[in-house]
Structure 1
Amino acid sequence: METNHDLKSEENLLQAAEYVEKPESQLKAMWETLRQNKAAVVGLIIIAILAIIAVTVWVSELMGKQILPYDPNYSDMSKGFVWPNSQHWFGTDQLGRDMFSRILDGAKISLFVGITAVAISLSVGVILGAIAGYRGGKTDTIIMRFMDIMLAIPSILLAIAFMAALGKGLDKAIIAIGLVSIPEYARIVRGNILSVKENDYVHAAKIIGNKTSRIIYKHILPNVISVIVVRATLGISTAVLDTAALGFLGLGVQPPFAEWGDMLGRARGFIFSAPYTLIFPGVAITITVLAFNLLGDGLRDALDPKSRIK
């Protein structure tokens, strides 16, 4: 009789925990906190503008239409190194290509690589971190020692090594950048799961016979999702930087496609004769990275329950 009573208590505890810990129940409070953070709102607005530009350019290309002022890949050598003016707002590069059109077109590639690479690292890192944190023992040791080895190598050097093995190109850059960020997500998820898995509702889930996979994905991961969201947002800014670094070294997106890092790399020889060819891509990278960092910091405050206690 006592056993049945205890079991019912555990079930009630589990149901209550599910209700309290649901991420959607925190959305309203999170948005109110985020909205009061002016820096985060600015970052969100910039990201929204960049996303609209990227999606619009991408859709127009699929439809075979040109919405940019000029074809970003069209070269007119007679107009090489034209300084910014009313016709070419950001000037032209050494091949006579319109810099303003190339900057807008580059937003599509930078955001695509950043978001896709984070999606790869997030998917793999969350799975590995969840397994390591929940299983523990030898499984935890093996997974985390391998992650430690990857973390011991600077991410950009590791990305270059992957690019050397995989080859040049957009798809290779996505894979390389995604792989180097896996250890960060794995360690974050593992650390949070080690504390969350000791909660009463997790023990209750075990008692009533839930499978390990269900416990992890239904009762544990939803309660560490805030940390994952913040890190993923900040991770996109890192991925954008890594994309630009690989492009600067000539290992990322290959010509004639417009990519901010590649534009910087090809313009570095004209820093004195045509400095605007470096300034505008550099500003685009800086603004994008800053926007994601501002939003990430705002999300960290908004998703932290302590920040909402008055």
Structure 2
Amino acid sequence: MAELAKATVETAEIDELHSPLREFWRRLSKNKLAMVSLVFLLGLTLVALFAPYIAPYDPINGIMEESLQAPNAKHLLGTDELGRDILSRIIFGARISLRVGLLAVAIALSVGTVLGSIAGYYGGKIDLIIMRFMDIMLSFPSLLLAIAFMAVLGRGVENAVIAISIVTMPEYARIVRGSVLSVKENEYVQAARAIGNRDAAIIFKHILPNVMAPIIVRGTLGISTAILETAALGFLGLGVQPPDAEWGTMLGSGRGYLFNAPHLVYFPGIAITLTVMAFNLLGDGLRDALDPRLRQ
């Protein structure tokens, strides 16, 4: 009987754990646009991972005799001014765009979460110093600030990741700070403090797990912002450098052929638009699925 009771308790705990996940997935799956976006992004990720096996041609080396060809049976999306296959370059460009977007958001989210948690939990002068510094950064347009950091750091993918993560970090810090302020006086936090838990344990074990919903949503939306800023830096010649394939760099090099070879601009622009739209729609779906106020 004791073993049966123990098994019953364990089953109930597992069901209680899985129930929120099932409810979250049920609500997310009802959002058709979010599900289509999720499928698209999963497919794009697979394409980026297996780009060397999927791309029909070398994205770096082209054939000058085949330059500026319109879409045809041999080159489905045409070729650029150096005879390189546009489809192959877009496939390899997905690698860079997704990598920069994910890395930049991961760094910005990690640092912003720590700073926002410290500011919201301790308050006082610490909160004042951290948040005023964040306000100063937010007072500048993010792209302009990213260009300034790139001018200091230099060109390249790694520096683009650093610049984008720095300029987007204040947004996450403010979101986390506001969430921490709203829950730090709850009873379970007071109880954890009363039994002698350290501040770090209270923040990371009791507060942050209960404010993850807005952080997840903002992080998903932030990936689209990072991809856009990566493309903008590449378009201006400050991001990924030729001959590497990146969507913004492809736009920048193709703008001079807009009238006689518009496919050089159309297809990279479509890739950026679809990817950014997919992340935005998925972020909206996650927001609706995680918002307890929308649950019936």
Fold match, TM over 0.5? yes
Select the residue among 259, 276, 280 that pairs with 2:267: 280
In the alignment, residue 52 of structure 1 is paired with which amino acid?
L
In 2, the alpha carbon distance for the partners of 1:23 and 1:144 equals: 36
SS in 2 for 1:181: helix
Q: Partner of 2:148 in structure 1? A: 161
Alignment of 1:202 onto 2:189: yes
Alignment of 1:190 onto 2:184: no
In 1, the alpha carbon distance for the partners of 2:83 and 2:191 equals: 67
Deviates more, 1:90-99 or 1:300-309: 300-309
Q: Partner of 1:6 in structure 2? A: none
Q: Partner of 2:89 in structure 1? A: 102
Give the TM-score taking structure 1 as reference length.
Answer: 0.89
Deviation per CA, 1:240-285, whole angstroms, max 9, x where unpaired?
A: 0000000000000011110000000011111110011100000000
1:71-110 → structure 2 map (5 Å cutoff): 71-110=58-97
Q: Partner of 1:31 in structure 2? A: 25
Structure 1 contact 158–180 (Cα < 8 Å) conserved: yes
In the alignment, residue 222 of structure 1 is paired with which amino acid?
P
CA separation of 1:123/1:268 partners in 2, compared to 1, >3 Å: closer, same or farther? same
SS in 2 for 1:96: coil
Deviation at 1:201, TM superposition (A): 0.5
SS in 2 for 1:125: helix
Deviation at 1:26, TM superposition (A): 2.3
CA-based RMSD = 1.3
Structure 1 contact 29–308 (Cα < 8 Å) conserved: no
In 2, the alpha carbon distance for the partners of 1:257 and 1:131 equals: 40
Structure 2 contact 155–241 (Cα < 8 Å) conserved: yes
Percent identity, please: 62
Deviation per CA, 1:49-97, whole angstroms, max 9, x where unpaired?
A: 110011112xx4xxxxx54100011121111101000100000000000
Deviation per CA, 1:196-224, whole angstroms, max 9, x where unpaired?
A: 10111000111111000000001000011
In the alignment, residue 194 of structure 2 is paired with which amino acid?
I
Q: Partner of 1:56 in structure 2? A: 50
Deviation at 1:23, TM superposition (A): 8.4
In the alignment, residue 291 of structure 1 is paired with which amino acid?
A
Give the TM-score taking structure 2 as reference length.
Answer: 0.93
Structure 1 contact 23–223 (Cα < 8 Å) conserved: no
In the alignment, residue 55 of structure 1 is paired with which amino acid?
L
SS in 1 for 2:60: coil
Q: Which runs of 4+ in 1 moved over 6 A?
A: none
Deviation at 1:25, TM superposition (A): 5.4
In the alignment, residue 68 of structure 1 is paired with which amino acid?
A
Alignment of 1:295 onto 2:282: yes
Deviation per CA, 1:271-306, whole angstroms, max 9, x where unpaired?
A: 110011100000000000000000000000000112
Structure 2 contact 137–170 (Cα < 8 Å) conserved: yes
Q: Partner of 1:226 in structure 2? A: 213
In the alignment, residue 235 of structure 2 is paired with which amino acid?
F
In 1, the alpha carbon distance for the partners of 2:271 and 2:17 equals: 34
Alignment of 1:117 onto 2:104: yes
CA separation of 1:276/1:138 partners in 2, compared to 1, >3 Å: closer, same or farther? same
Structure 2 contact 47–54 (Cα < 8 Å) conserved: no
In 1, the alpha carbon distance for the partners of 2:72 and 2:259 equals: 19
In the alignment, residue 72 of structure 1 is paired with which amino acid?
P
Deviation at 1:99, TM superposition (A): 0.2
Structure 1 residues not aligned, in runs of 5+: 1-18, 61-65
Structure 2 residues not aligned, in runs of 5+: 1-12
In 2, the alpha carbon distance for the partners of 1:299 and 1:35 equals: 10
In the alignment, residue 220 of structure 1 is paired with which amino acid?
I
SS in 2 for 1:264: helix
Structure 2 contact 68–79 (Cα < 8 Å) conserved: yes
In the alignment, residue 279 of structure 2 is paired with which amino acid?
F
